[in-house]
Amino acid sequence: MTVPALIISIFATAAPATVPASTPITVTGHAWAPFISPMGEPFRARSISDDTLADWFRGADANHDGILTIDEMKADAERFFAKLDTDHNGEIDPDELAAYEWDIAPDIQVSSRTRNPPGVAAAGKPPESDEHRSGHGRWRPGAGEDDETLLGIGGGLQGAARYGLLNMPEPVAAADTNFDRVVTLGEFTQAAIERFQLLDRNQTGSLGLAPLQAMRPPPPKPGHHRKPDMNAQDKRVGNPLPPGD
């Protein structure tokens, strides 16, 4: 074998196969509704059988006794805080909050479309008006619910309230109680305590999975969206709106 032929043979053997530039990269995803935990963490389904609320509950239930205590709620909040506090300075600053809203839980954005759990038929096509895109779309109540129960900011549940147990459109930012644009670990932990107390309706000091499942808002149903009564009072747990004037 000649020297040039030998060199070509060596490179052909050693060089890794390359993917032609024209070959498309296919990414498969599922536009399914997550469960947004009381502290704002998204839990996403990977199949129709996944129960995302139960996934959060089992993770937060540290001793696996089927009961969530206030200490376990605080520990779960501290774990999620550490995930959000990427520079580990003990605060969630505006940049880290933006990363949460855009990268970790973009579903909470006001302009995002309401999604359904896997296996649930998609809702009717939403209106394409500027009013809808600005977060003032309409919500059609599910079975057993009425407009007054589901009334939220802008005439419908907004942001994380569509996928969680509390009527809080942005659960992480809501922990900033002194409005200095940063969330400290102390504020986040205190928010966990207060949210536990909101969920503990019977004041038993513990939370079970079944009662929490009953608090979860239903997905929107297909069909015509009707405007809720804007003078009705929000009866959901969380941040109720005052009665209309």
Which helix (DSSP H) or strand (DSSP E) does residue 91 occupy?
strand 91-92
Number of structural domains found in the chain: 1
Cα-only R_g, the chain: 23
Report how far residue 177's alpha carbon sits from residue 172's, in angstroms, rounded to the nearest whole number: 11
Average pLDDT value over all residues in the chain: 75
Does the predicted TM-score (pTM) go above 0.85? Answer: no
Q: Which alpha helices (H) appear in the chain, and where do they start and end?
A: 3-14, 52-60, 70-84, 94-99, 130-131, 147-150, 185-199, 209-215
Report how far residue 205's alpha carbon sits from residue 136's, in angstroms, rounded to the nearest whole number: 37
Q: Is residue 221 part of a domain?
A: no
Residue 221 vs residue 15, higher pLDDT: 221
Least confident piece of the model among 26-40, 85-99, 104-118, 142-156:
142-156
Give the pLDDT score at 148: 32
Q: Is residue 28 part of a domain?
A: no
Q: Write down how long the chain is.
A: 245
Region 17-46: mean pLDDT is 72
Q: Is residue 24 part of a domain?
A: no
Band (pLDDT 50/70/90 cuts) for residue 19 is very low
Q: Is residue 8 part of a domain?
A: no
Give the pLDDT score at 218: 77
Q: Is residue 12 part of a domain?
A: no
Q: What is the pLDDT of residues 172-184, one digit of tens each?
A: 999 999 999 999 9
Report how far residue 167's alpha carbon sits from residue 6's, in angstroms, rounded to the nearest whole number: 71
Least confident piece of the model among 94-103, 124-133, 179-188, 201-210:
124-133
Residue 184, both tokens: 């400290």
Q: What is the pLDDT of residues 154-172, one digit of tens each?
A: 347 889 999 999 999 999 9
Q: Is residue 19 part of a domain?
A: no
In this structure, the number of other CB atoms found within 10 A of the CB of residue 131 comes to 13
Beta strands at 42-43 and 35-36: parallel, antiparallel or unpaired: antiparallel
Owning domain of residue 201: 35-215
Give the pLDDT score at 224: 46
Residue 166 near residue 198 (C-beta atoms within 8 A):
yes
Report how far residue 164's alpha carbon sits from residue 212's, in angstroms, rounded to the nearest whole number: 10
Report how far residue 229's alpha carbon sits from residue 156's, in angstroms, rounded to the nearest whole number: 10
Q: Is residue 29 part of a domain?
A: no
Residue 141 vs residue 80, higher pLDDT: 80
Q: Is residue 116 part of a domain?
A: yes
